[in-house]
Amino acid sequence: MSSSVQFIDGCWSAGKGKTFSSIDPARNTAVWSGESADDSQVESAVIAARKAFPEWSTRSFDERLAICQRFSELLGENKEDLARVMAEETGKPLWETRTEVGAMIGKVAISERAYKERTGTVENEMPGAKAFIRHKPHGVVAVYGPYNFPGHLPNGHIVPALIAGNTVVFKPSELTPKVAEFTVKLWEKAGIPAGVLNLVQGEVDTGKALSAHPQIDGLYFTGSSNTGHLLHKQFGGRPDKILALEMGGNNPLIVTNVSDVDAAVHNIVQSAYITSGQRCTCARRLFIEAGEKGQAVLDRLVEVTKNIVVDDYEAEPQPFMGAMISAKAAAGMVDAHNELVRLGGKSLVKSTHRDTQTGFVTPGIVDVTGVDNIPDEEYFGPLLKVYRFTKLDDAIKEANNTRYGLSAGILCDDEETYRYFFKHIRAGIVNWNKPITGASSAAPFGGIGASGNHRASAYYAADYCSYPVASVEAENQSMPEILAPGLKF
């Protein structure tokens, strides 16, 4: 247990707000406990970041990058310990948390490339002068992270923000404070100067205090659509502040005319149930063609889903799914399953909460074909709704019938069908014969509609971490050969 949990202006200190804790959802044991940052500590963190900004932003790019590279090396050296902390706090199996640390390590090199490619310097000759495009950091930015990737997703904002010269106040998910503390200690070890990266731990009150602080210049948020929409309202009328929102989805996956049934089922399972369905990119709605071919896919999916191994993060052999983030979240999945059945859906695979004290829940499938009033909600867990269709156009129309627009995919043998789907589907990630999860850090990552606000992250995070400055520059001034009308010299 730790008490110095806030990192403000280069110093660790205890929070002055109320106590909160994190629980290992696989074992129902306490992992971490500490006091939250109160308003005065959020204020100190923002002021420290403001004070550190002039020096950090005017350092050379290479100096800033060197610290990020050292952080990346330290992640490598501490990979196993960090993966274990992630597993304890989230319930995710170790194979998966190791992958998450790997993604964090890779983020630095990718962000360096993205910075140079998307926000580097461009020089053009013009008569008697040169035209430049350069980029400057915004200033103090707040970074909010979700619990499902407590390392990788906030890291996807923090690294490009720091590389670009911003200073950061990081507010992690209250469900994963230990991962945040571990990570920020590595930044400290990497030599991040005082005030450049600050950590304020706490629950929603801490988040509210930070987002409302008048001295932040921007906020980079990954989390639920509800919170994202609240932040968007809060930032209304503030065009001077940059807001990047990465939110949830109600993502569709269409299956039509596939010859390799097992390969299709594997792609469905990877799309719907990886991370116990706790990825914003997970498939929530599966459209399967009516008839024998579709039935063969569905039957095999039901069979494979029933056999998915759900177990402790340390179990050997490793399970595909670990516990969900909390016992409450797992119970919520069973409730959501029952609600779909109450609305008229047919349960094909029942979601079962293993016990009321842990987050273990088995993956579920409900056939909701022809059922009206299915809520357009993101059930953030391993629950898949099935829709049978006869015409592809109807499936695409229904797939688009959502306020969200994060990821979408089609599993089909012929390219023409994919091209048609691509043209008509609305989403920020559109895949063919691949899972719709597992988005690359080397590509833009974001959604439309209620999934985001057109400020895609991952490779495009560079875009919201600085603003462009256009300059026309001449070493000497000279009089033009022809004066504008009405001027006399």
Ligand X SMILES: O=C(O)CCC(=O)N[C@@H](CCC(=O)O)C(=O)O
Buried/exposed 126-150: b ≥16 CB within 10 Å, e otherwise: eeeeeeeeebebbbbbbbbbbbbbb
Among 243, 439, 456, 462, binds ligand X (CB under 6 A): 439
Cβ-proximal residues to 437 (8 Å cutoff; 6+ apart), any chain: 270, 271, 274, 275, 279, 281, 282, 283, 407
Backbone angles phi, psi at 79, to 5 degrees: -55, -50
Among 90, 227, 267, 362, binds ligand NAI (CB under 6 A): 227
Q: Starting at the edge strand that comes first in sequence, how are the strands of the sheet with 364-367 ordered?
A: 346-349, 364-367, 383-389, 283-289, 251-255, 407-411, 429-432
Cβ-proximal residues to 349 (8 Å cutoff; 6+ apart), any chain: 302, 305, 306, 362, 363, 364, 365
96 makes contact with ligand NAI (CB under 6 A): no
121 is known to lie in a ligand binding site: no
171 makes contact with ligand X (CB under 6 A): no
Of 460, 68, 453, nearest to 236 (Cα)?
Answer: 453
CB of 149 to ligand X, least distance (A): 5
CA distance 453 to 217: 17
Numbers of helices and strands, H then E, in the chain: 14, 21
- Which residue of the set 174, 246, 289, 378 is catalytic? 246
Nearer to ligand NAI, 146 or 409 (CB): 146
452 is known to lie in a ligand binding site: no
CB of 117 to ligand X, least distance (A): 16
3 is known to lie in a ligand binding site: no
CB of 195 to ligand X, least distance (A): 26
320 makes contact with ligand X (CB under 6 A): no
Among 441, 451, 453, 466, binds ligand X (CB under 6 A): 441
Write the binding mask 271 to 300 for ligand X: x where contact by CB under 6 A, - elsewhere.
--------xxx-------------------
Among 458, 462, 463, 466, binds ligand X (CB under 6 A): 458
Q: Which stretch binds ligand X (CB under 6 A): 50-58, 263-271, 370-378, 437-445?
A: 437-445
Write the binding mask 381 to 410 for ligand NAI: x where contact by CB under 6 A, - elsewhere.
-------------------------x----
Nearer to ligand X, 255 or 406 (CB): 406
What is the residue whose two structure tokens read 């659509």?
225
Looking only at residues 266 through 285 of this chain, which bind ligand NAI when binding is defined by CB under 6 A?
Answer: 280
- Which residue of the set 68, 100, 280, 378 is catalytic? 280
CA distance 198 to 357: 34
Among 111, 148, 167, 183, binds ligand X (CB under 6 A): 148
Whether 280 is a known active-site residue: answer yes
Residue 183 near which of ligand NAI, ligand X, none (CB within 5-8 Å, type-dependent):
none
Determine if the peptide bond prior to 480 is cis (ω within 30°): no
Q: Starting at the edge strand that comes first in sequence, how are the strands of the sheet with 129-137 ordered?
A: 122-126, 129-137, 466-473
Of 397, 152, 47, 111, nearest to 252 (Cα)?
Answer: 397
207 makes contact with ligand NAI (CB under 6 A): yes
Question: With 0-12 CB in 10 A as exposed, 13-18 as middle and 19+ as buried, what is 350?
Answer: middle
SS3 state at 339: helix
36 makes contact with ligand NAI (CB under 6 A): no
Residue pair 172/150 in contact by the 8 Å Cβ criterion: yes
CA distance 257 to 11: 60
Residue 246 near which of ligand X, ligand NAI, none (CB within 5-8 Å, type-dependent):
ligand NAI
Whether 465 is a known active-site residue: answer no
Tokens of 459: 């490779």
183 is known to lie in a ligand binding site: no
- Residues acting as catalytic residues: 246, 280
Q: Which residues bind ligand X (CB under 6 A)?
A: 148-149, 152, 156, 279-281, 437-439, 441, 445, 457-458
Q: Which residues bind ligand NAI (CB under 6 A)?
A: 144, 146-148, 153, 171, 173-174, 204, 207-208, 211, 222-224, 227, 230, 246-248, 280, 378, 380, 406
Query: Which positions make up the binding site for NAD(+)?
Result: 223-228
Query: Which positions make up the binding site?
Result: 223-228
